[in-house]
Copies of this chain bind each other. A is one copy, B any other.
Amino acid sequence: MLTGMHVAFLGGDARQLEVIEKFSEMDASITLIGFDNLEPKYGGVKYAELKEDILKTIDVLILHAVVTNNTGKIDSIFSSKELLLTKNHLKSLPKHAKIYTGYSKPYFKNLCQENKIELIELFERDDVAIYNSIPTAEGAIMMAIENTDITIHGSNCIVLGLGRTGITLARTLKGVGAHVKIGVRKHEHFARASEMQLNPFYLNNLTNEVTDIDLLFNTIPTMIVTAQVIAHIPHRAVIIDLASKPGGTDFRFAEKRGIKAMIAPGLPGIVAPKTAGQIIAKSLIQLISEDSSEWGND
């Protein structure tokens, strides 16, 4: 239980509601900032403005799942007011307080560091990345079904990367009946993919491997689906790039060749916000519980 701990939520989307509910079940004291339009309102929680005095009393500050802004602006779909988290806000936090988010751009990371506030990015954690790979894979499957006129079953699919997302996606595609090939660079990834019957190939052969594909899914966060690769892809094929922006595809060249290519960020929050929220909640509570011996010590 988190009885006695003051947790503030700043901004969020549908995922955050799951997190709030779990913290409420754990008996934390909860303050919601930037939830003025939320309907219906939760009982037993406080609603507040983003002001320094409220921040002084909190132990944990949970932000919107992604902090993508270069000004400290935090998004919230539950508020029409701007939420700007400034240096002064950070300074007003107690020393022991920690900030949690899924993923943050460098600007805000630096801001926290300069102000000696620990910022934890959940999506960096292996377990969270693996759990998030599940809704990501389902979103990719959904996009593939929507954007082709064939079945995934029996189609020729390539997945690039056998990381946390790639392994899940490749397994799921196979589960639906696709012919899956997976592009890797490490011998041990080749071995594991063989064991999983995922037909590995080395990425330096990529150009040769794409000539008969229907679908290409990329999870490698670097330019990998280059113009040269795209030149070998059949016209009917669809490229779904899951790597974080700007993806790993030469989209300009794909468009020029008339090949459908799309980048698909943030799938967990889109296709399964409730599951995505539960993943965040579970990980947050695990982390905070493991830390909790420290609370109230400063």
- A interface, CB within 8 angstroms of B: 14, 125-128, 130-131, 133-135, 137-139, 141-142, 145-146, 148-154, 167-168, 171-172, 174-177, 187-188, 190-192, 194-197, 271-275, 286
Contacts and interface: CB of A to CB of B under 8 A. Distances in A.
Contact of A195 (B133, B146, B187, B191): B133
B138 A153 contact: yes
Contacts of A150: 272, 274-275
A275 to B, nearest CB: 5
B131 A191 contact: yes
Given A175-B174, A176-B176, A195-B134, A145 B153 contact: no
Contact of A149 (B131, B168, B175, B273): B273
| Most chain B beta-carbon neighbours within 10 Å: one of A146, A177, A273 | A177
The 5 A-B pairs of least Cβ separation, nearest first, read A175-B175, A126-B188, A130-B191, A127-B187, A149-B274
Given A130-B191, A153-B195, 7 more contacts: A130-B195, A131-B194, A137-B153, A141-B145, A150-B275, A171-B196, A172-B175
Contact of A126 (B130, B149, B191): B191
A185 B290 CA distance: 15
A151 B187 contact: no
Contacts of A192: 130, 167
A272 B151 contact: yes
Contact of A141 (B131, B176, B275): B176
Question: Among the interface residues A138, A192, A273, which one has the most CB atoms of the partner chain B within 10 A?
Answer: A138
Contacts of A139: 145
A18 to B, nearest CB: 9
Nearest to A15: B149
A81 B191 CA distance: 37
Nearest to A192: B130
A171 B194 CA distance: 13
A127 B273 contact: no
Given A138-B152, A172-B176, A145 B188 contact: no
A188 B153 CA distance: 17
Given A141-B176, A176-B141, A149 B286 contact: no
A286 B286 CA distance: 43
A154 B168 CA distance: 14
Given A168-B195, A175-B176, A145 B142 contact: yes
Nearest to A135: B151
Nearest to A132: B191
Given A176-B138, A176-B141, A127 B272 contact: no
Contacts of A128: 191
Contacts of A187: 125-127, 286
A150 B125 CA distance: 21
